[in-house]
Structure 1
Amino acid sequence: MTAIRGDATPAQQNAPAGPGSAATDVAAAEKFLRAFHDAHPEAGELDPRLAEVRAEIARTGTYRHTPEELAYGARVALRDSGWCTSGVPWRRLLVRDLRGLRNATTVAKECFEHLRLATNAGRIQPLISVFAPDTPHEPGPRIWNEQVVRYAGYAGPGGEVLGDARYVGFTAAAQRLGWRPPKTRGRFDHLPLVVETAHEGPRTFTVPRDLVQEVPLEHPDLPWFYKLGLRWHSVPLVSNMRLLIGGITYPAAPFNTWFVGTEIGTRALADEMAYGFIREVADRIGLDTTSERTLWRDRAIVEINRAVLYSFDSARVTITDHHSETLHRLAWLRTAPEEGTERPAFVAGGEADRRARKGAPACFPLVARTATARATGEPG
């Protein structure tokens, strides 16, 4: 799934991002609250809530969303982000309010619980888990991983890669943080979850193997396909995008819908910058790979994507195809809000993208952690 609205607007880019940042923008808060009350007249009178929020911002530099405001903002953000796949009833999305959690261990534990709930025996349940926000006084936790379940990539001495080449840098960074890969390395080794907080720094957590449902891939017409040993995890739990609602930034708000088949087949398994199985599949089919004009890549990609959809359907795991998704996205584009309207949004950042692929840079400097440790009596 590729986000259509992946970049922040100028106003969103200036949203509070940690200690010492500006107070929450009152205008952004008011605009969101007006939209919420328009959508939910049962929430009561708007003016008293506006007065309450203005006073809270004046007193503390920020404000706290009610559970109903949080749920509305998260659902609208997912609906308008371009990540809401066809068939997802966004108004009924389950929003897990975990704003009281700031420590890495509890964040990781709840990410794993999210994965369990979302898997739902293959009938994928769309969920959003929202952890502590950034405030002018304390930053919220960050998750480095692009998705909670990703596969390791190991670089060999000759430049060859075992596993997912997109995550060679992240794999090496995780090892520097103390993660140890399996003794016998494979193409589908699960990377650890990396959670960083200002007071703890980055920490690694092994994703429980029994929570990761994977689908072995076979082809409806090519009996040899299953011998390739390919598989993929069933839940795309996106974990490194910021959730912006009414001037407040939630830096850790993992969410999932379900996979579009081409995200697995085209962008992961076929792409030579990821797994690069396209040429092996083409050779086994017997395609002429001596010239690009034979369109051997196109033909091989079609068969890989057929295998993905067939295997997920056979395993009764929810998935959608790219043609259905294109029609859904076109319908969404006709009604999508204009850019710059500062509506709730999921936003990807340049540094977050680099962390997801390279494992750097860290979110918080060591000096900040040391100062916090001295204040709390914890090791720095």
Structure 2
Amino acid sequence: MEQARLTGWQTFLLVLSYTLGTASIIYPGRLIASGSQDAWMIPLFAGIYGMVVVALWIYLYSLHNGLNIIQINMKVFGKIIGGFFALVYICYFIQLSSWITRNLGDFMHITLMPETPISMFHIMFLTIVCYASFKGIVTIGRVNEIMTPLIFLLFWATYLVMLGEWNWERFIPSFRLDVIKTMKETSSFLAFPFMETICFTMIFPFIKSKLKTSLISGIGVAALLFSLIVFLMIGLIGVTRASHLTYPLFTLFQELRLYSFIEHVEAIVSIAWLFTVFVKLSISYYCAVLGICTIFNIQNRAIIAIPLIWVVAGIALSNHSSLIDVLDWDKKYMFIYTLLYAVIIPLLLLTVTGIKGYKERKVNS
């Protein structure tokens, strides 16, 4: 395994960028359509759920210190059954990489370069991500450590400029959210992005300080920022319009005019979003490569990373026929699908670990 060291600060920033990633530009309109004026509360509830799930993974890791989720499966279940579950996780990481790639391609094709084939965006980004997987998780963490504060400062400074269009009447009526009904309608938001952070269980062994603090605080801060994005969007363009736009955040920046001569400010949100997507895709792709190398004991990551480009690009094109199909699948199946990897299997691992520990203590006594 790669000999890498991530600081608590680097881990926090990676979790923050990963969680905001694709969801920050795809989900606000869908949350507003479900929660209306109170949609800004949904990320807060989802963030609490995300922190509880992360605490579950941290507890599992504390029982198998120094092992990633692939190695834990093989240790707990044995070579055959554990190898099967390890392959299941690897398939999930590859599938997740293809979803992120598809979201990226759809955004670029719809908003920025409609004449360019979507496959070109896939290959272009996956080539860069493949190189990042060569360099390792520390390089990804350092690049993110340098760029994230700059990107966030630029993004939020531009957002604050738009407060001149603010209207509190857009929040009327408020505090009428049916929490249970709304969470059922937006259950996919629990999976995408919060349960998708299961990828970080592959890099737990590389985090040498403040593991619990950096992970849980990263999820919490991401939930707060997502809530703020939705809150500002309601106040700036209103519920009706925001809920009918595919990319309301992009449209909001696209219509911004500063001093009557500064236009096309949407480039800022595009750069910020593309960078966070790059971080998220790099982590999921790296986890897929690392998982394959771990289970088959391969030392050279290039042997796996290069051909995986074509696998991920092919799945990204074949999975869904259009963006509408992607969003519909997410709404119906994403929560149940991700629940298997993020909650059910970790709980099964904890149960088997507890049973084995009880038997060992009984034999020793």
**Alignment TM class, shorter chain as reference:** under 0.3
More helix by share: 2
When Rg is computed on C-alpha atoms for both structures, the one with the higher figure is 1
How high is the TM-score relative to the length of structure 1?
0.25
